[in-house]
Amino acid sequence: MLARLAATPKIALAIAGLLFATPAWADRVVTDQIGREVHVPDQVNRVVILQHQTLNIAVQLDAMDKVVGVLDEWKKQLGAHYVRLAPNLPDLAMPGGLTKVNIEELLTLKPDVVFVTNYAPADMVKQIEDAGLAVVAISLLDVPPEEAVKMNPSVADEPAAIDAGFAAGVRLIADILDKKEKGEAMIAVTKKTRALVAERLADIPEDQRVPVYMANPDLSTYGRGKYTGLMMERAGARNVANEIAGFKQVTMEDVLKWNPSVIFVQERYPAVVDEIKTTASWQTIDAVRNGRIHLMPQYAKAWGYPMPEAMALGELWMAKTLYPERFADIDMQKEADAYYKEFYRTDYRAAQ
């Protein structure tokens, strides 16, 4: 019967199309960073990103033409100046955030994939999945699934978990966004800088490392198990808050007891610098008395999650700030311009 039908040219062409064409609904399976198997379309053209770390990576992968919606806290999380690197951000829909979603608004955007943070509530993820959408969770950390869903997971080997998780996360995002080559370039540049910093700081004993505190709003800071602590360690610092786990609020008594020699403040929180300089309770701390409070440059993202520019530039900047004599030959403006031109398609000056 099939042979007789195929004898008719038009029917034969139709049968051939059915046999060999790739259906519009064809998909593939990826494993996200909390261990879930997710069916995603072979061709992803529309994504919603409800996590600022993934959004930052998507911008650097030059994939914003695929982004149709972002988290509502993007300005707070990425900093007010970030819009210069992604001018279309204010025009995008904001159907949710790190831990919430407006499912009706999300559905109107018709995304192929929705990126969420690893600690997005299970019911939020289920709500999006039940609506027929692919949900991919990103942690940038390689830990067992039962820990991967936590905001402050338990991490046995921080360097290994962060390095492996960062690379796997970038590759997953780049694969879905069809930017594999750019993703590999991003990973490669972080390794190059890491080797340079490690070589120049290798002979500094633990008891001679500079005690450093990372100041955030409301006396919150990063302890062990977060990238910020590893960033400090790799830059030759000793994180004075290493006794706490994860990202937590501490007390002024804690900071006074720790008495850091240097205080770093992330670029997205400039008001914290003024608060430290003008509040009486901070004035006896060594870092304040000696004027060693540093507002970090935009690229030195000392976040709990590893960011490519933090690894490629931030660790180098922090090491140079703490040990200027060991990095006298390093021109951070030149380094930053080179990175920004490759991944942000501008120079660093344009991002100020």
Q: Are residues 55 and 157 in the same domain?
A: yes
Q: Are residues 173 and 209 in the same domain?
A: no
298: its two tokens: 């935009």
Predicted model pTM: 0.86
Residue 2 lies in a domain: no
Q: Are residues 27 and 158 in the same domain?
A: yes
Is residue 217 within 8 Å of residue 152, measured between CB atoms?
Answer: no
Helix, strand, coil share (%) of the chain residues, nearest 5: 50, 15, 35
CATH of the domain at 288: 3.40.50.1980
Q: Which is nearest to 277 in space by CA: 266, 267, 258, 290? A: 290
First-to-last alpha carbon distance for the chain, in angstroms, is 71
- Going through 243-306 in order, the beta strands assigned E by DSSP cover 247-249, 262-265, 293-295
Q: Are residues 105 and 173 in the same domain?
A: yes
pLDDT, residue 351, reads 57
pLDDT, residue 167, reads 98
Angle between helices 180-201 and 52-60 in degrees, nearest 10: 100
Q: Are residues 167 and 247 in the same domain?
A: no
Q: Are residues 82 and 144 in the same domain?
A: yes
Taking only the tens of pLDDT, the chain with its 352 residues reads: 444 444 444 444 343 433 333 334 458 999 999 999 999 999 999 999 999 999 999 999 999 999 999 999 999 999 888 999 999 999 999 999 999 999 999 999 999 999 999 999 999 999 999 999 999 999 999 999 999 999 989 888 999 999 999 999 999 999 999 999 999 999 999 999 999 999 999 999 989 999 999 999 999 999 988 999 999 999 999 999 999 999 999 999 999 999 999 999 999 899 999 999 999 999 999 999 999 999 999 999 999 899 999 999 999 999 999 999 999 999 999 999 999 999 999 989 765 5
pLDDT, residue 294, reads 97
Residue 216 lies in a domain: yes
pLDDT, residue 80, reads 84
For 92, phi and psi rounded to 5 degrees?
A: -85, 150
Q: Are residues 213 and 265 in the same domain?
A: yes
pLDDT, residue 52, reads 97
Give the residue numbers spanning the domain of 52: 23-178
pLDDT, residue 81, reads 87
238: its two tokens: 């000793």
